[in-house]
Structure formats: C-alpha cells, structure tokens
C-alpha cells in the first residue's frame, strides 16, 4: 500500500507492482520515517494496515512490532538501536542481509539497499520453511551417517564373514571377518571388486585342491539356478567353511561365511567319546553292537562273521587287591595286546569292566576264529609288569559264528557270552565255541544265584567233615569242613555254587556261617583233631577278617591252634601287602594256614616262598595216575621234598587207592585225605567215630571208614 502522496497513473502502477511482489517491502527515508510499504510487509509482521501511516517513525514501528510479539529475544530499545546502526552502516547503496526472529519463531530474512534520494529500500522474506527444510535435510544426513556407522559396526562385529554382490557380480559390501577368513588383499575388499576376480584369487591361494574347487563351483551353479537359500560346507586349505547363500530379488546375493573347522572337530570328538571307551580308546559296547548289526547285511549275503567274547580271568582279584588304578593300567595293557593280536579289518571293542569283544568280518577260513582266539589267550597269558610288580591274568573266550549261531547282533553277542561262560567253567584261559544248550547252563546258574540269596535264612546249608589221617601219628589229625547245600530237596555241588557265591559276594556271609558252625561243632569233639575251613579270596577283602576269626573262636571256645584255614593260590596271585599282613596276623594268633589245591595254579612253586605255610595240600589231580605215571611221581617227590625243606607239612588230597597211599608213604607224605579212608561225613558220624576210638578217629580194624562202619561204631557204642 503506497502512501497517498503519489496519485499519478505511474503511482498507481507502482502501487500495484509493490502489492504483487512476493515479499514484504518498505522504504525508510533518511530520517527513519516510513515512506512506502506493501501488504506483505504488514502480513509478515502481523501489522494492522490501518495502524500504519506515512511519516511513522522507526521507533513507533519497532514498538508496535514488539507489541505483536516480534523480536522476542530483545527489548524494543535494543532492537531499535542495533537496527538503526545497521541501516546507518549501510549507506553505500550495497544490499545487506540480516535475519530477524518474529512471533511464533518465524524467521525473516531482510535485505536493505540505500538509495540517496529515497532512503533505505528494504525487502522482507519469510524463510522459516526454507530453513526448516534445510535443517531436516541436515538432520537426515546426520542420521544416515549414524546409521551407516551403526551398520558398519554391526557388519564388522558379527563373527561370520559377510559379503554382498550385485547382479553384475560386483562387491557391494563385505566385513572384516570375510577378509579374515579368506585372507584377501585389500583390492578385493573395495566395493566394485569383481566376484570372479576374488574367486580366481582364492583358487590360486586358498582352495588348492581341484576337488574343493569343483565342489564349490558345482554348489554355486546349483545355488544360482535354484535361486533359493542354500547351505554348503567348503574346504579351504584344510579348513571347513560353512557358506549360506541368500539370493536377492534384483539378481545379487548375500553370503555368510563361517569357519566351522573347530566346531566340526569338537563334534567329531564328542561322537568319538560317545562311541569309545575312555580308558582304552577302544570302541564301546554301543559302537560294537552297531557294527555287528551292520554286518547283518554281510551275513544276509552269505558271508560268515564271528563274534569273540573275551572275559579276563582273575581280573577282579587285581582290582580288589591292588586297587583300581592298577586295574586300569592292566586293562590298558590288555587292550594293547588284543590290538596286536587282531587284524585291521576286525573290530575290537571293550564292552565294559573286564570284557572285550572282537568282530571278525568276514571269516574266510573256518579255523580262523579258533586261531585268533588261541593267539589272544596266549597274548594275555604272559605276565603284566606294573610299577615293578608282576601280575598274571588270563582270557577266556567264547565264539559265536553267524549265521549258524544266530544272525542278529544281540543273539551273536549273547551266544558268544554263553560260550565264554563255558570256557570259564572249563578252567579259564581257553576258548570255546557256542553250542546249543548252553543257554540251559546259564539258566541253571541264574537259579543257583537266586537260591543262594535266601539259602542262609532258609537254613538250607549244612557242614560235613572229611577226616585227614596223619600217617606218622596213625590217627585222624584234622577234619576238613565242607559245605553242603540242598536247594529244593536236591543237593547242589559246591563246585557249582561256590564260584557263584564268590562272584556275587554272597560267600562273605556264607563263609562266616561255615566258620562259626565248624568251630562250634569242633569244640565238642573228643581228642585234639583240628578243624580245617576253606576260605575264599573274596573273604580276605574284609579288613576285619582277623577279628571275625577271633570272634568265631571265642564264641565257640575253640583254641586257635585247632583251627586251620585253607586258602588257594589265587589269593596270592597278586601278592598284596594286605593279604600277606592278614595271613601273618592269623598265624601269630596260633591259627594254622594251609595252601590248598597246590599244583593247579600258575607258578605254584614261587608261592611257597611268599608265606610260611603250615601245610601244603597237593591237589587231587596229581593222584590220578600216581601209581602208573613216573612223571607224576617225580613231581610229587620234588614237591614234598621242597615243602619239607621249607618246614611245611605235606598233605595229599583225593587218595582213593592203596597203591596211591603206598607211593605217598614212600615219598614221606605227612597226611592223606580221600575216599580210601573216608568220604566227608555228617557231624554226628564224626562225633560217633571220635567217641568210639578214644579221640583217635582211627582203628586198625575200621579201615576204611564207610557208612556201614559208622553204623557199626554207633551200635558198638550204644
């Protein structure tokens, strides 16, 4: 709106022009009075056009502007002062620009130019929106940069390698893990690097084997064709890299790369652990059964395979007397010997404890299993040296052949186990093939085991006594207590049930019962005949055995000198300090210790020196051909001589004939035991015998003792 001074046509034209320019406009004359202004000017400052008039001073306008809330950061005086100085400073006709803040935070850019005839011509432009836009742009850019930084950090901090290529095979982005995995030079890591160049580099440096390259290319081709997520493990110079390939819609692809070498090794270690025995590192039972099962296809094709079940002999004794560490050491040595006795194609496994197994596949020659079994028996029989100690064990082996003895893994292993059980009963350190009917043997064993558990409380045991005759004393010097068990009305032989009682540990209670019973009965005997009690090695594991024997003697009121304990060589197999200590303590009490079944063991003669036995009982197997076989006679002669030289009394077991007796007498044997003189007899018969013979148990006219003789004795006494 122009002031009313110019009323010409030109003035009207100028007025219209002023009104239409797109920014605020005003003119201040040189004494700071308003000369000209337009509508936009009023709009920008929120002025009521009616309040403005020509000649209005700058001061009045500034005050009015302040009333409208403009220049909120300054007092009107301060604003006026600085504004006036600004204008005065610009009288060179040049345009100067400045900014003002108005009500509502709007930002106005003013530009003033001085014209000497007119004064200051000032334009005002609302630049609020422009500034806001610029600010948003600025902020967006900053945000983008921050995001990029964050993305960078994320991409570089993931443990997997990451690479992204566009449809033309140009690298878009990759991270440091990618660089690390492939050990790529810098030029291949820059955006734009070509995938084919990177591959060429890798084929030359990392993926050296042709097979690795080909498998990689095949996978890439497939992945590209199928256009879907795929995984694959690639080999890179002996390391395994897991690649996960994600194609993108635009033809590019993202791949993650992960070095899983350690992970695979860890997994392999775990599978190994699951399938192997940690002590010997041999395949375990599970592994073995799996392999036998997979041999079933071989069997179905008509091949023969064999399973050897190996059970160590006397291993328990080692564990019990020398401790588990020694037991473990023996098992390791056994494993090594078994390994060297088997072929590479055979599978050797440790099934548990002291049991091993071998799968022979295939069996080319029917004699092969027996040959290998023999070789193993021989290999395990040799002495084991541990920490300066020498121990002897053995191996019993059962053999089952497929398809004849079964065609499933379970059946083969079970039948080989049964055959092994038989090898053990055959005297150990031997092998046996499976035979139908062996199952029945095992069934019987189970029945015995179950029966033994309740035999004591059911009062099914009794003790009988077999006299031992002193050849010089000419009287019964001792009675050996022998256990009898009647299971469901049938007598079970101790040869059958004692080993079961030993294996199950039941012998501990049963043995104690025999000891107390034998002492109790012997106390009532007339005369001074001793009583001999058989002791199983298992009983010696009791650290309070000496106290137990003492208490049995005290309870019965029997003098220690009348008790004889019979032990076998197997107790001394691994001459443990503890066992020898116990034996010495027993002997110090006045109890006599006898070595039973002499000659059946491994290196019998050496045991004679390990303990000062009171008596040696030569095993009855030597009696059989004593009168005919010169060799047997020579052995007995030598043994008796050796025993005597060590101050031990010599007893012969199983004397059945007069000829044997004669031979033994000639060799200077001290004592005999056997059917020739008497079988084991009931306690009542012993009492009768001793009573009727004045405690001698022997009279010239009552020889040998038979059931009929005892009856006669009884009658005579009656």
CB of 519 to ligand C2E, least distance (A): 13
In whole angstroms, the minimum distance from the beta carbon of 464 to ligand C2E comes to: 7
Q: Decide the pairing of beta strands 563-567 and 592-598.
A: parallel
514 binds, among Ca ion, ligand C2E, none (CB under 5 to 8 A by kind): ligand C2E
Please say which residue, 405 or 596, places its beta carbon nearer to Ca ion. Answer: 596
Instruction: Select the residue interacting with ligand C2E from 5, 210, 364, 495 (CB under 6 A).
Output: 495
70 forms part of the interface with ligand C2E (CB under 6 A) = no
CB 700 within 8 A of CB 679: no
- The residue among 333 and 570 lying less far from ligand C2E, judged by its C-beta, is 570
10 by Cβ neighbours in 10 Å (0-12 / 13-18 / 19+) ranks as exposed
Taking CB under 6 A as the criterion, which residues in 606-635 touch ligand C2E? Answer: 620
- The minimum distance between CB 301 and ligand C2E, in angstroms, equals 49
Give which of 307, 308, 292, 325 is closest to 379, Cα–Cα. Answer: 308
Q: Which residue has the tokens 């440096």?
A: 205
Among residues 212 and 566, whose Cβ is nearest to Ca ion?
A: 566
Question: Which residue's CB is nearer to ligand C2E, number 38 or number 660?
Answer: 660
- CB count within 10 Å of CB 710 equals 20
Report the b/e string of 505-527 with b at 16+ CB within 10 A.
Answer: ebbbebbbbbbbbbbbbbeebbe
Nearest distance from C-beta of residue 463 to ligand C2E, angstroms: 7
Q: What are phi and psi of 174, to 5 degrees?
A: -150, 165
Joined together, the tokens standing for residue 704 give 């040998």
26, 514, 608, 702: residue in contact with ligand C2E (rule CB under 6 A) = 514
Please enumerate in sequence order all residues whose Cβ is within 8 A of that of 592, keeping only pairs 6 or more positions apart, or say none.
530, 561, 563, 564, 565, 614, 615
Residue 405 sits in the site that holds Ca ion (CB under 5 A)? no
Count CB atoms within 10 A of the CB of residue 328.
13
Does 467 help bind ligand C2E (rule: CB under 6 A)?
no
Comparison of 62 and 498: residue with beta carbon closer to ligand C2E: 498
Tokens at residue 353, please? 């404890």
| Choice from 299, 334, 357, 498 touching ligand C2E (CB under 6 A) | 498
Burial class, 553, CB count within 10 angstroms (exposed 0-12 / middle 13-18 / buried 19+): buried
Q: How far is the CB of 511 from ligand C2E (least distance, A)?
A: 6
* Least separation in angstroms between CB 698 and Ca ion: 21
The stretch among 277-285, 491-499, 571-579, 635-643 that binds ligand C2E (CB under 6 A) is 491-499
**CB nearer to Ca ion: pick between 258 and 566:** 566
- Closest approach of ligand C2E to the CB of residue 591, in Å: 16
Give every CB contact of residue 284 below 8 A, 6+ residues apart in sequence.
275, 276, 277, 349, 350, 351, 352
Per residue, what are the HEC states of 615-669? Answer: EEEECHHHCCCCCCCHHHHHHHHHHHHHHHHCCCEEEECCCCCHHHHHHHHHCCC
Least separation in angstroms between CB 534 and ligand C2E: 4
654 contacts ligand C2E (rule: CB under 6 A): yes
Burial of 351 (0-12, 13-18, 19+ CB in 10 A): buried
Minimum distance from residue 373 beta carbon to ligand C2E (Å): 28
Options 79-87, 220-228, 279-287, 667-675: segment touching ligand C2E (CB under 6 A): 667-675
Residue 536 CA to residue 530 CA, distance in Å, equals 19
Q: Is 461 in the site for ligand C2E (CB under 6 A)?
A: no
Question: DSSP letters along 323-369, please?
Answer: -HHHHHHHHHHHHHHHHHHS-TTSEEEEEETTEEEEEE-S--STTHH
Is residue 675 near ligand C2E by the rule CB under 6 A?
Answer: yes
Q: Which is nearer to Ca ion, 479 or 698 (CB)?
A: 479
Question: Cβ 568 to ligand C2E, closest distance in Å?
Answer: 7
- Residue 536: name its binding partner from ligand C2E, Ca ion, none (Cβ under 5 to 8 Å by kind): ligand C2E
- 466 makes contact with ligand C2E (CB under 6 A): yes
Q: Is 596 in the site for Ca ion (CB under 5 A)?
A: yes
φ, ψ of residue 449 in degrees (nearest 5) = -60, -45
Q: Which is nearer to ligand C2E, 372 or 533 (CB)?
A: 533
The stretch near ligand C2E (CB under 6 A) out of 8-16, 346-354, 653-661, 705-713 is: 653-661
Long-range contacts of 336-345 (CB under 8 A, 24+ apart): 337/376, 337/379, 337/380, 337/382, 338/310, 338/376, 338/379, 338/380, 339/282, 340/379, 341/372, 341/375, 341/376, 341/379, 342/372
Cα separation, 632 vs 354, whole angstroms: 36
Among residues 108 and 463, whose Cβ is nearest to ligand C2E?
Answer: 463
Residues 6 or more apart from 55 whose CB is under 8 A from it?
33, 34
Q: Is 685 in the site for ligand C2E (CB under 6 A)?
A: no
**Closer residue to ligand C2E, CB minimum distance, 534 or 667:** 534
Q: What are the backbone angles phi and psi of residue 165, rounded to the nearest 5°?
A: -120, 150
Q: Does 252 bind ligand C2E (CB under 6 A)?
A: no
Separation CA 717–CA 378 (nearest Å): 59
- Tell me the closest approach of the beta carbon of residue 493 to ligand C2E, in angstroms: 5
Query: Smallest distance from the beta carbon of 492 to ligand C2E, in angstroms?
Result: 10
| Smallest distance, ligand C2E to C-beta of residue 347, A | 39
Q: Which stretch binds Ca ion (CB under 5 A): 83-91, 499-507, 562-570, 639-647?
A: 562-570
Long-range contacts of 468-472 (CB under 8 A, 24+ apart): 468/532, 468/651, 468/671, 468/672, 468/673, 469/671, 469/672, 469/673, 469/677, 469/698, 470/670, 470/671, 471/664, 471/665, 471/669, 471/670, 471/671, 471/672, 472/670
Contact region with Ca ion (CB under 5 A), list: 150-158, 224-232, 521-529, 530-538? 530-538
Residues in the chain: 718
Binder among 388, 493, 628, 631 for ligand C2E (CB under 6 A): 493
Q: Which stretch binds ligand C2E (CB under 6 A): 303-311, 373-381, 434-442, 532-540?
A: 532-540
Q: Which does 320 bind (CB under 5 to 8 A by kind): Ca ion, ligand C2E, none?
A: none
Per CB under 5 A, the segment of 410-418, 487-495, 589-597, 656-664 that binds Ca ion is 589-597
Between 658-666 and 630-645, two packed helices, what is the crossing angle to 10 degrees? Answer: 50
Instruction: Tell me the longest C-alpha to C-alpha distance in the chain.
Output: 183
Q: Which residue from 119, 394, 680, 697 is in contact with ligand C2E, where contact means CB under 6 A?
A: 680
Question: What's the DSSP call for residue 49?
Answer: G
Query: Among residues 280, 534, 576, 604, which is the contact residue for Ca ion, using CB under 5 A?
Result: 534
Only one of the segments 232-240, 331-339, 574-582, 649-657 lies at the binding site for ligand C2E (rule: CB under 6 A); that segment is: 649-657
Strand order through the sheet with 305-313: 347-352, 355-360, 305-313, 394-402, 431-433
Phi, psi dihedrals of residue 126, rounded to the nearest 5°: -80, 110
Which DSSP string corresponds to 34-45? EEEE-HHHHHHH
212 vs 502, which CB is nearer to ligand C2E? 502
Asked whether position 683 contacts ligand C2E by CB under 6 A, the answer is: no
Which of ligand C2E, Ca ion, none interacts with 656 (beta carbon under 5 to 8 A by kind)? ligand C2E
User: Does 597 contact Ca ion by CB under 5 A?
Assistant: yes
Interface stretch with Ca ion, choices 46-54, 271-279, 505-513, 593-601 (CB under 5 A): 593-601
- Of the ranges 125-133, 208-216, 232-240, 597-605, which one interacts with Ca ion (CB under 5 A)? 597-605
> Which CB atom, from 438 or from 686, has the smaller least distance to ligand C2E?
686
- Binding residues (CB under 6 A) for ligand C2E: these are 466, 482-483, 493-495, 498, 511, 514, 534-536, 596-597, 620, 653-656, 673-675, 680
């Amino acid at each position: 709106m122009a002031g009313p001074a110019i009323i010409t046509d030109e003035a009207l034209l100028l007025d219209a022009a002023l009104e239409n320019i797109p920014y605020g406009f005003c003119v201040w004359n040189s004494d700071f009075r308003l000369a000209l202004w337009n509508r936009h000017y009023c709009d920008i400052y929120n002025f009521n056009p009616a309040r403005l008039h020509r000649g209005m001073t700058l001061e009045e306008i500034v005050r009015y502007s302040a009333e409208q809330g403009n220049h909120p950061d300054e007092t009107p005086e301060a604003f006026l002062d600085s504004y006036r100085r600004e204008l005065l400073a610009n009288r060179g006709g040049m345009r100067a620009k400045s900014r003002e803040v108005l009500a509502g935070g709007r930002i106005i850019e003013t530009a003033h130019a001085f014209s000497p005839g007119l004064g200051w011509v000032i334009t005002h432009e609302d630049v609020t929106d422009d500034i806001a836009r610029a600010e948003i742009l600025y902020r967006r850019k900053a945000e983008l940069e921050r995001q990029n930084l964050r993305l960078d950090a994320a991409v570089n901090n993931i443990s997997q390698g990451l690479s992204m290529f566009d449809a033309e095979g140009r690298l878009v982005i990759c991270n440091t893990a990618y660089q690390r995995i492939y050990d790529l030079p810098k030029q291949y890591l820059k955006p734009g690097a070509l995938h084919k160049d990177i591959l060429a580099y890798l084929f030359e440096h990392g993926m050296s084997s042709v097979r690795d390259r080909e498998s990689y290319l095949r996978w890439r081709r497939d992945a590209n064709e199928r256009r879907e997520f795929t995984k694959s493990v690639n080999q890179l110079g002996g390391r395994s890299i897991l690649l996960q390939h994600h194609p993108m819609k635009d033809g590019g692809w993202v791949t993650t790369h992960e070095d899983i070498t350690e992970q695979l090794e860890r997994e392999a270690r775990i599978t190994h652990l699951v399938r192997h025995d940690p002590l010997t590192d041999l395949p375990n039972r599970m592994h073995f059964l799996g392999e036998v099962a997979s041999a079933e296809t071989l069997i179905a094709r008509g091949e023969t395979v064999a399973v050897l079940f190996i059970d160590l002999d006397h291993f328990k004794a080692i564990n019990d007397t020398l401790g588990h560490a020694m037991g473990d050491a023996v098992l390791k040595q056994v494993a090594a010997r078994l390994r060297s006795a088997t072929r590479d194609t055979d599978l050797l496994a440790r099934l548990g404890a002291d049991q091993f197994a071998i799968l022979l596949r295939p069996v080319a020659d029917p004699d092969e299993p027996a040959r290998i079994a023999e070789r193993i028996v021989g290999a395990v029989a040799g002495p084991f040296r541990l920490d300066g100690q020498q121990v002897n064990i053995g191996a019993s082996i059962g053999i089952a052949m497929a398809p004849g003895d079964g065609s499933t893994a379970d059946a083969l292993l079970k039948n080989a186990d049964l055959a092994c059980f038989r090898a053990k009963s055959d005297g150990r350190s031997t092998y046996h093939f499976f035979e139908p009917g062996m199952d029945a043997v095992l069934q019987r064993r189970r029945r015995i085991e179950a029966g033994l558990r309740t035999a004591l409380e059911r009062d099914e045991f009794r003790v009988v006594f077999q006299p031992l005759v002193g050849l010089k004393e000419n009287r019964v010097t001792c009675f050996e207590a022998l256990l009898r068990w009647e299971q469901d009305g049938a007598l079970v032989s101790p040869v059958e049930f004692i080993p079961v009682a030993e294996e199950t540990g039941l012998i501990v209670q049963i043995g104690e019962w025999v000891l107390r019973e034998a002492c109790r009965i012997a106390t009532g005997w007339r005369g001074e005949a001793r009583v001999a009690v058989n002791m199983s090695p298992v009983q010696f594991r009791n650290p309070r055995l000496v106290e137990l024997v003492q208490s049995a003697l005290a309870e019965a009121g029997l003098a220690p000198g009348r008790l004889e304990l019979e032990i076998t060589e197997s107790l001394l197999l691994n001459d443990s300090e503890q066992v020898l200590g116990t034996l010495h303590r027993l002997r110090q009490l006045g109890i006599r210790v006898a070595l039973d079944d002499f000659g059946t063991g491994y290196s019998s003669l050496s045991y004679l020196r390990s303990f000062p036995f009171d008596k040696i009982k030569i095993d009855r197997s030597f009696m059989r051909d004593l009168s005919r076989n010169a060799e047997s006679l020579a052995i007995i002669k030598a043994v008796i001589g050796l025993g005597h030289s060590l101050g031990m009394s010599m007893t012969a077991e199983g004397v059945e004939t007069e000829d044997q007796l004669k031979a033994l007498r000639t060799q200077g044997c001290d004592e005999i035991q056997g059917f020739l003189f008497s079988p084991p007899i009931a306690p009542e018969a012993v009492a009768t015998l001793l009573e009727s013979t004045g405690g001698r148990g022997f009279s010239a006219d009552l020889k040998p003792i038979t059931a009929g003789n005892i009856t006669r004795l009884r009658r005579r006494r009656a």
